[in-house]
């Protein structure tokens, strides 16, 4: 079985769902595993298993909040099955970016000219 250490920020909805299922009332100190990682740092984690993997999810206050606020309806897979059709045309998008870059460059040139004129006025 694989053992994977997972940070709260990288939890997938599936792993979060397994955590909520295993610890419906939250976890306590008896559920926390403490170990040293490769950098010799102390890590605290809770364990959740799938068929082929043991996930050690790092413990944090944010993990507790995510578990408390988890709602499977928020992660409905059917929401992601429609193809994205409203993507901008790549060429048009690149042209718009170039125009913005040119405008930014022009603004910068104007600022430099103004600073030079201010410097000249101060010398007189």
How far is 32 from 30, CA to CA, in rounded Å? 6
Task: State the pLDDT at residue 38.
Answer: 86
The C-alpha R_g of the chain, in whole angstroms, comes to: 26
Task: State the pLDDT at residue 58.
Answer: 87
pTM value is 0.47
How confident is the model over 17-33, as pLDDT tens digits? 888 899 888 888 889 88
Task: State the pLDDT at residue 110.
Answer: 55
Give counts: helices (H), strands (E), the chain.
3, 4
Q: What residue ranges of the chain have pLDDT lower than 70? A: 61-124
First to last CA, the chain: 80
Question: In Å, how far are 25, 44, 62, 85 from 69, measured between CA atoms?
Answer: 12, 21, 10, 32
Task: State the pLDDT at residue 49.
Answer: 92
Tally of CB atoms within 10 A around 111? 10
Residue 19: phi and psi, rounded to 5, are -60, -45
Instruction: Name, in order, each residue with C-beta under 8 angstroms of 48's C-beta and a sequence gap of 6 or more.
Output: 15, 18, 19, 22, 54, 55, 57
């Amino acid at each position: 079985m694989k053992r994977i250490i997972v940070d709260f920020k990288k939890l997938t909805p599936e792993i979060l769902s397994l955590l909520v299922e295993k610890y419906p009332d939250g976890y306590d100190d008896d559920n926390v595993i403490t170990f040293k990682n490769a950098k010799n740092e102390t890590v605290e984690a809770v364990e959740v298993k799938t068929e082929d993997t043991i996930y050690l999810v790092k413990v944090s206050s944010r993990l507790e909040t995510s578990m408390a606020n988890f709602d499977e309806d928020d992660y409905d897979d059917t929401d992601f099955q429609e193809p994205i059709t409203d993507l901008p045309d790549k060429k048009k998008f690149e042209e718009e970016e170039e125009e913005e870059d040119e405008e930014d460059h022009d603004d910068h040139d104007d600022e430099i000219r103004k600073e030079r004129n201010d410097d000249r006025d101060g010398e007189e």
